[in-house]
Amino acid sequence: LIFSNPRSSGRRNLTLTLSEDGGRTWQPIAVICRGPSAYSDIAFIAPDRIGVLYENGEEGNIYSRISFRVVEL
């Protein structure tokens, strides 16, 4: 299982996490955005690559951008 969410209060530090035991434990595998970030979606784009589409921006305007990042597994 792979999951993305802000890992701090205030919608910051969007992180991609991996569970290899059905969701009992989660290991962070990549910080996608260290600053303000919000909703995200993930998709496999190759067997060893994940695409992450996410909202991000500046303080006070967290939803000003939609960004895309590729993460190698």
3 bridge partner residues: 17
pLDDT of residue 59: 87
Phi-psi label, residue 7: left if phi above 0, alpha if psi -120 to 50, beta otherwise: alpha
pLDDT of residue 64: 94
Measured torsion, CA atoms of residues 18, 21, 25, 29, in degrees rounded to the nearest 10: -20
Positive or negative, the CA dihedral 59, 63, 2, 44 is: negative
What is this structure's pTM? 0.88
Q: Are the CB atoms for 55 and 39 separated by under 8 Å?
A: yes
Residues of the chain with pLDDT under 50: none
* CA 18/CA 27 separation, integer angstroms: 5
pLDDT of residue 45: 96
